[in-house]
Amino acid sequence: MAFTLPPNLTAEQVTSIDSLSGLAGITELEAAQPEGQRMLVGITFQWRFPFFEWAAGLVNLMLKGSIPFPVTEDVPYQYQNQYIQLTPWPEFTDIVFVDPTEPVWYIAWVKTSPWWQAILAAMAGTFATYVGIAFLVLFLGAVVWRVLPQEIKQPIQEVLNALPNLVILAVMVMIFTMLPGLMKER
């Protein structure tokens, strides 16, 4: 779901941060706001990494109190295995929104107490979980490959060995099918 600012609202204060060290400025900005103030932070990533929407959904579930924060060294101790519930804007049920085309997450919540550190902890926990799952999949794949009998591994290896040749063959077929058309144009 993409975030769109409701038509009756305008941004009062816009702050741009270009490094991780500047995130403390958001904590200070949030602490200075009165209770009930709507907060909106857009986080721009360098690219849309695999499972970009899934990771945003996981952070959203953590911030809505649906699932606990993970117990990892990336998450501060006070948030580990805790259910923390931020208040979404009245117009929305979600807190984290994904831009449909750009590598951007929008996080919109109502300030009840300073939550920015909890938001960062949720993101850190999600990325730690994401990396852990990636390594687990690679590790399990390696273990399964090691225990597979040779009768099963050999055909798989032959297909994988043939893939580069099949790609070259497909490119050559494409070239030769386009070549007569190019010759006629001259």
Listed residue (113, 96, 116, 93) closest to 105, CA to CA: 96
pLDDT tens per residue across span 15-61: 666 666 666 677 777 778 888 888 888 888 888 877 888 888 888 88
**Domain span holding position 155:** 150-185
pTM score = 0.57
Quick one: pLDDT band at residue 177, thresholds 50, 70, 90? confident
- Identify whether residues 70 and 117 lie together within a single domain: yes
What 44-53 contacts at long range (C-beta under 8 Å, 24+ apart), as own/partner pairs, is 44/102, 44/103, 44/104, 45/103, 45/104, 45/105, 46/103, 47/103, 48/103, 49/103, 51/130, 52/98, 52/103, 53/98
Task: Assess if residue 75 is contained within a domain.
Answer: yes
- Identify whether residues 95 and 162 lie together within a single domain: no
Q: What angle do CA 156, 158, 163 make, to 5 degrees?
A: 95
What confidence score (pLDDT) does residue 183 get?
57
Task: Assess if residue 4 is contained within a domain.
Answer: no
Q: How many residues does the chain have?
A: 186
What confidence score (pLDDT) does residue 2 get?
56
- Identify whether residues 154 and 137 lie together within a single domain: no
- Identify whether residues 87 and 37 lie together within a single domain: yes
- Identify whether residues 180 and 121 lie together within a single domain: no
What confidence score (pLDDT) does residue 54 get?
84
pLDDT tens per residue across span 59-90: 888 888 766 666 565 555 566 656 677 888 88
- Identify whether residues 118 and 160 lie together within a single domain: no
Q: Token digits for 166? A: 């099949």
Indicate the number of domains in the chain. Answer: 2
- Identify whether residues 88 and 130 lie together within a single domain: yes
pLDDT tens per residue across span 106-154: 888 888 776 676 676 677 667 666 666 667 777 777 777 778 888 888 8
Largest CA distance in the chain: 74
What confidence score (pLDDT) does residue 17 get?
63
- Identify whether residues 126 and 157 lie together within a single domain: no
- Identify whether residues 86 and 41 lie together within a single domain: yes
- Identify whether residues 125 and 156 lie together within a single domain: no
- Identify whether residues 109 and 181 lie together within a single domain: no
Task: Assess if residue 35 is contained within a domain.
Answer: yes
* 116-147 vs 52-63: helix crossing angle, rounded to 10: 130
